Structure 1
Amino acid sequence: MNQEKAPEPVTAIVCLDEDEVEPLTGEPFFHMTISKSHLNQGHLPIPAKFAELLPKNKAAVPMVLSRGSRSWHMKFYGSQYSQRRFGSGWKAFVKDNMLNLGDVCLFELMSTHVTSLKFKVQILRGDLPPALLNREGQPRVSPVLIEIE
């Protein structure tokens, strides 16, 4: 009688590449398509509708953006009299993550307190194929015809 040996169980360790997209957790989120001003200025404005969920402090609130195993500490400015924004520390996040024009950042609010905020960030790269870019490397204004066979 031929007895086959049962296969041994396999334990898989899954490591997400930093650019892999994870499912949302169900917490509130907003997304921002990165523009020139987001790359060059030292802050990121928050959409008004989403800002309603955040503290309205006159003083800056410490916050953390986390992506994969890394974290960036910065300040959130939430005065009701000015535009709410991520402030000091934003430029380091842009540089460390090599953000480019057209990338989309998804910010998921993981915890909010009057004294601190924490966001989980995912980055969807906006790399376009060369056929969709003009000579300057910017997205073409004219439509592109895609034929499906």
Structure 2
Amino acid sequence: MHLFVNFLESGYEKVFAFSIFEGLMCEGSFVCEIVKPVVDPEMAKSSSNPVVELNGEEFWPLSGKPYFDVILTKSHVKPIYQLGIPAKLEPVLPSGSIHTVLTFGGKSWEMTYNGEKRHKQFDRKSWGAFVDENNLKAGDGLVFELKECNSTQIGFRVQILRGDIPDELLEKANREAEKPIVIQ
């Protein structure tokens, strides 16, 4: 059983979950927290778009442009390095092989978006380089916000939400996994 409590703070939604599962950053016993950007139309209109730095990584509110998010699995971060683009973006993205730029942490990675195939995806070699250079692991969450899209180029601004859970919490979760938390 998972109990989620949401509240907004400085343009970010904080989600507290009273149970342990892959992909959440945890603090304390069975209390997990994930910071997830939310769309704030007023903040998107203002010229001062706040950026929050946490553990050396940057986070910011979404601007209202199309985006998708993904929790990485082994197939995303190990050879075959495969990341499919969700169908919800198909109406926005062009068909064909399009030059694509991912930006994160002040750096850019060039790759090809393959929109001709039935399963739309980034080319595996360049996606693998992005994964390796950013030390991505299964359980990490990524948010891809569309910044540029035309017939010759696509640009995504990427946020990385690290999914590392301290070993001591994982061990405790494994020992107590069969003891559900009941909230009445």
Q: TM-score, normalised by structure 2?
A: 0.61
Higher RCO (CA 8 Å, separation ≥ 6 residues): 1
Shift of 1:130: 2.6
The counterpart of 1:99, out of the listed 109, 133, 136, is 136
Aligned residues: 128
Say if 2:53 is the partner of 1:53.
Answer: no
Partners in 2 of 1:116 and 1:78 — Cα distance? 12
- Greater per-residue helix proportion: 2
Counterpart AA for 1:142: A
Aligned-residue Cα RMSD (Å) equals 2.7
Distance 1:109 1:53 in 2: 9
Alignment pair present for 1:129 and 2:166 = yes
- Which amino acid is the alignment partner of residue 93 of structure 2? L
1:61 to 1:144, Cα distance in 2 relative to 1, 3 A: farther
Gaps of 5+ in 2: 1-50
1:129 positional shift = 2.9
- Identity %, equivalent residues: 39
Q: Which runs of 5+ in 1 are unaligned?
A: 1-13
2:57–2:105 Cα contact (<8 Å) kept? no
Q: Give the match for residue 86 of structure 1.
A: 122
Counterpart of 1:108, as a letter, is: E
Stretch of structure 1 that moved more, 90-99 or 121-130: 121-130
